[in-house]
Amino acid sequence: MTGTTTSTVEVSVGPLAADDVVAVTRDDAQIRITDESVRAMTESRDVIESMVDDDQPHYGVSTGFGALATKHVPVDMRAQLQRSLIRSHAASSGAEVDREIIRGLMLLRLSTLATGRTGVRPSTAQAYAGILNAGITPVVREYGSLGCSGDLAPLSHCALALMGEGEVRNRAGELMNAGDALAAAGLSPVELREKEGLALINGTDGMLGMLLMASSDLHRLLKIADISAAMTVEGLLGTDAVFAEDLNQLRPHPGQGASAANIRSVLGESPLIGTRQSGEDGKRSFTRVQDAYSVRCAPQVHGAARATLAHAESVAGYELDSAVDNPVVTLDGRIESNGNFHGAPVGYVLDFLAIAVADLASMSERRTDRFLDPARNHGLNAFLADDPGVDSGHMIAQYTQAGIVSELKRLAAPASADSIPSSAMQEDHVSMGWSAGLKLRRAIDGLSRVLAVELLTSARALDMRDGGVEQAKTAPATTAVRKLIRTVVPAPGTDRYLAPEIEAVRKLVESGDALTTAEEAIGSELS
């Protein structure tokens, strides 16, 4: 969706901030290229211009590409070389990818152009920024990038639009010819010059953009997972003793400590937990010593996912501080071939995150399932049904969770472990990072749906425990989340059309409303 922000992101020689990338991709923040970048690009362009008439071979300037790098291109064909590169490489196929992926792809490529290490003209970079600012989105399809030599096909479609060719969607989402869309926005096509075509397509920008957006989503979803786990603890009459700070300090993983602290905060002042834990003499009096792993070990799993995310963000930080191109114009004015376009660092962490996402969802599904079994839900109706046998309650909601979790386990298989040789064996090892990014996005969508079902189910269980939110016996934070859910889903009753209720809670998860509601009740942000 297109945002309404009027903020401006500056693209300069230095690295972009991750938040700036999200602002441009999701909120349509405007872009301004700094004067410092214009100077850097002008200087490096002078290096390329000095080679235009040179008889010595310079990759991407006077040679073919990939396995065709041994082909010498005469001076009068070198501009055509760049146009032919873009047209031939714009070869993606399949379903269109999301608008925000393409905007991230373009912004991060522009960020590398702005370092002055690629040799493009400042006017070319400004024209590229103009397309983003106009809300024009080149049509890029699912298949085409192997994640090495950059995200070649996706970036080629973007460069093709810069040339006024190919298909795009305007800000309103209408499919148009690129030339018509540029004209409607008051923009002109660019005639690419030496090296510029190559500079526009030789980066890991698509996979990096997907990593940054996934990181933003996972920060929210990890906190939601803590909230949903806390609601399940209450709903199953569990104990919060295992979340004590001193116990978790005995295994001092930062993520585990943060998750345990969140769960303690969400469960704070819970009459339901307090009633369960205290006898008349004020001493703890448990009817069972330990809860199941899916309840008791939530901080350990949620914390491990946080650690994985922290590592992924450290990789993203290095990538944001990179100038990925081949060849590259060095700071001292040389033009050198290199292998910095290989997507392995980003591909690996995209795959690592998919593993963590699958495990988070698996644990959430197991917690949900405990609510539905009268042998394990401590006094609630089978499947939380109003009249079990006549009603089925949340039986099939758990099936939906299980189907998603099964899919997430398949999506956790690493794309980066695969490699298919290409370009006549010149490019004989590739990262498949683009594929890793696409499957992580699907996995994150699945996680949000699984967590939504757990929230919906735990809210129903708690309503059945205490008679509803108007006489709630739950913590302030979990009561607030229950009340929010009740604004979009009616209180428990006989069976209803369930799919819209799941979707309504999913929207509360995706929008951040569920998280904000819990934090407002606590009076502070969760970690």
| Catalytic residue ranges | 59
> Which residue's entry shows tokens 């949903």?
228
Q: Which amino acid is at 420?
A: I
Q: What share of the chain is helix, strand, coil (3-state, %, to 5)?
A: 55, 5, 35
Q: Is residue 172 packed enough to be buried (19+ CB in 10 Å), middle (13-18) or exposed (0-12)?
A: exposed
Contacts of 187 by beta carbon, 8 Å cutoff, 6+ apart: 127, 130, 131, 134, 136
DSSP string, 147-208: SSSSSHHHHHHHHHHHTT-SEEE-TT--EEEHHHHHHHTT-------TTHHHHTT-S-HHHH
Contact predicate 363/301, CB 8 Å: yes
The answer to whether residues 401 and 456 touch, using CB atoms and an 8 Å cutoff, is: no
How many angstroms separate the most distant Cα atoms in the chain? Answer: 94
Measure the CA–CA gap between 390 and 380, rounded to whole angstroms.
16
Cα 22 → chain centroid: 10
